[in-house]
Structure 1
Amino acid sequence: MSVLLLLLAAVLSIPAILVGVNQWNRVAEVQGGVRAVGTFHSEGANCFRHRCWVDFRVDGRQVEADLPALTSSRESKVSRDGKPIVIRYPASDPTRVGEEDGYGSVVATCFLLGLPTLALLLVGVLWLVFGPSSRHPAPQG
């Protein structure tokens, strides 16, 4: 039973790892790029399920670029829609942007996605240590 729980925990950890690595890389690849301040826009309550983008100016022209899925759409429970946002983008492609130092929401979301995994790991380890198979009958004699 404990091996099954540990195996299930390993399988359930795959989505959290994939989302985390993908979004972390998306934010990391632009951190060394050009810094700009734009206007944050959101079509919904979060950027994971809804489109979030930023408008900003590059060399005198207006650019609209989509933000990564795990960009935070709220600050202290207040919507950021229409407010300034500091972004970075590669000089070669201003349509690939990420929030400057925008790793916090990636870590938080991956932690939440990984909670079922942590629970199963805990139950599996406790089952290994204290489960029925660890009880040995007292010697008779």
Structure 2
Amino acid sequence: MALVPALLLGALSVLVMLPAAQHLRALRNGERTQATLQTGGSCMMGRCRVGFEAAGRTVVADLPVGSGGGKDSVGTRLTVRYRADDPRVAAREDDVDGDGAAVLAVASGAGALLLLVLSVLAAIALGRQRRAGSPTGRAPQDAHP
């Protein structure tokens, strides 16, 4: 039963959070500007938006998965870094080290490993219980006529 959550946590770690950490780190040397949080919520899940001026135009950018600042209210001013060739790719300056996403990747990976170990231990215990329940002390065999 714990195998499915273990696989899901492992997939979250490898397929979502590690790439998110790399994406955030790629913006370290991006253009720096002041932005306003336009949509709040679960920024760690990529559901926040910021607005700022870039190259003389107003840009609204989604903050990437792994962003912090979910406790900030709409209208909060913050510093962002964005890609010069595509200002819609932006991240909070506090997040461009990728540490938040990396910590979540490690935590979900560790959770996956723990659930995987528990699944193996449960399978071993179940196998021993079945053997202990048979009269010969061995696993029951199918009768052949």
TM (norm. structure 1) is 0.66
Unaligned runs of 5+ in 1: 133-141
Unaligned runs of 5+ in 2: 123-127, 129-145
Higher helix proportion: 2
Is 1:15 matched with 2:8? no
For the structure 1 residues 124 and 38, does the alpha-carbon distance in structure 2 shift closer, same or farther, using more than 3 Å as the test? same
Corresponding letter in the other structure for 1:33: G
Tell me the distance in 2 between the aligned counterparts of 1:83 and 1:109: 25
Tell me the distance in 2 between the aligned counterparts of 1:10 and 1:120: 5
SS at match of 2:22: helix
Is 1:28 matched with 2:25? yes
Tell me the distance in 2 between the aligned counterparts of 1:50 and 1:90: 17
2:112 corresponds, among 117, 120, 128, to: 117
Matched residue, 1:137: none
Corresponding letter in the other structure for 2:43: C
Matched residue, 1:90: 83
For the structure 1 residues 115 and 70, does the alpha-carbon distance in structure 2 shift closer, same or farther, using more than 3 Å as the test? same
Matched residue, 1:51: 47
Deviation at 1:116, TM superposition (A): 2.9
Query: Do the aligned partners of 2:46 and 2:63 also contact (CA within 8 Å) in 1?
Result: no
2:58 corresponds, among 38, 59, 62, to: 62
Larger Rg over CA atoms = 2
Q: CA RMSD in A?
A: 3.4
Deviation at 1:16, TM superposition (A): 1.1
Identity, % of aligned positions: 29
CA displacement 1:28-69 (0-9 Å, x = unmatched): 2221111111011225x3035563111111233211111102
CA displacement 1:59-91 (0-9 Å, x = unmatched): 3321111110221233xxx43421112111121
For the structure 1 residues 49 and 9, does the alpha-carbon distance in structure 2 shift closer, same or farther, using more than 3 Å as the test? closer
